[in-house]
Amino acid sequence: MKQQIQTNKIEWKEVELGDICEEIAGGGTPSRLNKEYFGGNIPWVVVKDIVPEIKETSEYLTEEGLKNSSSKLWPAGTIILSTGATIGKVGIASIKLCTKQGVTGLVPKKFVFNKFLYFYLTSITKELEEGSRGITIKEIYKSSLRKIKIRLPFSNSTPNLKEQERIVSILEKAEKLKERGKNVGDLLDKYLKSVFNEMFLRDKKKFEIKKLGEICDVRDGTHNSPKYVKEGYPLITSKNLTNGFIDFSEINLISKADFDEVNKRSGVDSGDIIMPMIGTIGHPVIIPNNIQEFAIKNVALIKFKNSTVLNIYIKFILDSPYFDQVTLKNNRGGTQKFIALGDIRNIPIPLPPLPLQQKFAKIVEQVEKMKENVKKTKQNSDELFNSLMQKAFRGSCEDVIK
């Protein structure tokens, strides 16, 4: 008599997200009018804070702020998903934290590996966007989110946790390969900073020193608080300037009348530099061509009124340790630092000959071309990684994940 051998054959089944999570809940925002709600020690996640592993946030709430926000304190291991405005950014909390409106927390049940759910949600960004509603501001409603279909591996009619962990192990290895392109980009940035230091800062005393306000037109944006509207023009503040770019994902809009009023004095043109003056000081951004129109508030605006200095040179000066050294004594404020417009105008700038600046500009141009090639390579890696994820969650890539 032949003995029957029981196998743990993997079968993939669709389940609803709401059925595999202990809890799904959105965040909240305390009243901005009460300053005592902010500056505490409770991490408060906004969309730009969502990275694969969330270890810190850009803003913090007090206990009273958390109570007023209608958010909740999520444990480490919670899946964090952007469900408003920018849809589909996913991360895993490494710390206890709460979330802003438009940012949702999900706690998987014990039979679901949180990293598996993280990768799965990352793989269906397009579906999440298509399931959102709204005209000006997109949003995924909680009821719709709970009904999203998730494919899980089952064995003997039970979710197979080991299979989830095995798939995650493969995807993590693939993800590390994908990140190599990012590391190359970081190395190129460090190379440029090293070249700049060697050319201009190591022996800066040999150059003529002039105040920034003497060689550039230095202004700032409005100090007023225009009324926000649902449809209008972006108002850029310090929080929208990150990593050398303008982040339009979490933007406040103002009316045409307020936009025109601000730009009478502080109109921004391509080639100008804007720089945060409050919070994280420095980190300038050169305005590219063909960018959408916007106004600025509490942001320094640097215009170039003569041909003795290049914007790329000033950008690197303002993004260097030299800038930190000369402005450290002028950083004002308590919890939130700021630098006054007059102090920015008085920053001493070593002024090298224009040909030397132009030589550096050519080096930057060459490195930027290299970074663009790296970016294209990274895009190919991203496409391969996304293809692997799609196959993994369809249970159709045994030759890859076995």
Domain ranges (residues) in the chain: 16-153, 208-351
| pLDDT 10s digits, 145-155 | 888 888 898 98
Could you give the percent of the chain with pLDDT greater than 70? 85
Average of per-residue pLDDT across 367-379 = 76
The pLDDT-based confidence of 315 (bands split at 50, 70, 90) is: very high
Return d(Cα 106, Cα 23) in angstroms, integer. 6
pLDDT at 178: 67
Average of per-residue pLDDT across 88-114 = 91
16-153: CATH topology is Adenine-n6-DNA-methyltransferase TaqI; Chain A, domain 2 (3.90.220)
Is 171:123 a contact under the CB 8 Å cutoff? no
Q: Which two tokens stand for residue 351?
A: 């002024």
Could you give the percent of the chain with pLDDT greater than 90? 39
Lowest mean pLDDT among 5-9, 45-49, 117-121, 307-311: 5-9
pLDDT at 377: 65
pLDDT at 130: 67
**227 exposure class (CB count in 10 Å sphere: 0-12, 13-18, 19+):** exposed
The pLDDT-based confidence of 382 (bands split at 50, 70, 90) is: low
Residue 363, classed as helix, strand or coil, is helix
Average of per-residue pLDDT across 126-152 = 71
* Type of residue found at 42: I
Q: Which two tokens stand for residue 107?
A: 């706690």
208-351: CATH topology is Adenine-n6-DNA-methyltransferase TaqI; Chain A, domain 2 (3.90.220)
103 pLDDT above the threshold of 70: yes
401 pLDDT above the threshold of 50: no
pLDDT at 336: 54
Distances (CA, A) of 183 to 51, 172, 188, 189, 366: 16, 16, 9, 10, 18
395 pLDDT above the threshold of 90: no
301 pLDDT above the threshold of 90: yes
Is 56:65 a contact under the CB 8 Å cutoff? no
pLDDT at 179: 67
b/e burial code for range 161-183 (CB count within 10 A of at least 16 → b): bebbebbbebbeebbeebeebee
140 pLDDT above the threshold of 80: no
pLDDT at 105: 92
pLDDT at 309: 93
pLDDT at 1: 42
For 167, residues 6+ apart whose C-beta sits below 8 A from its C-beta are 116, 119, 153, 392, 393, 401
pLDDT at 10: 81
Q: Which two tokens stand for residue 361?
A: 């500009």
361 pLDDT above the threshold of 70: yes
The pLDDT-based confidence of 399 (bands split at 50, 70, 90) is: very low
Return d(Cα 391, Cα 376) in angstroms, integer. 23
**For the chain, how big is the Rg over CA atoms in Å?**
25
| pLDDT 10s digits, 224-258 | 888 999 889 999 988 888 877 888 877 889 999 99
Q: Report which of 79, 67, 77, 62 is spatially closest to residue 25, judged by C-alpha positions.
A: 79
282 or 61: which leads in pLDDT: 61
Is 12:151 a contact under the CB 8 Å cutoff? yes
336 or 121: which leads in pLDDT: 121
DSSP state of 292: P
How many CB atoms within 10 Å of residue 32? 8
306 pLDDT above the threshold of 90: no
Q: Indicate if 208-351 has the same CATH topology as 16-153.
A: yes
396 pLDDT above the threshold of 90: no
pLDDT at 6: 45
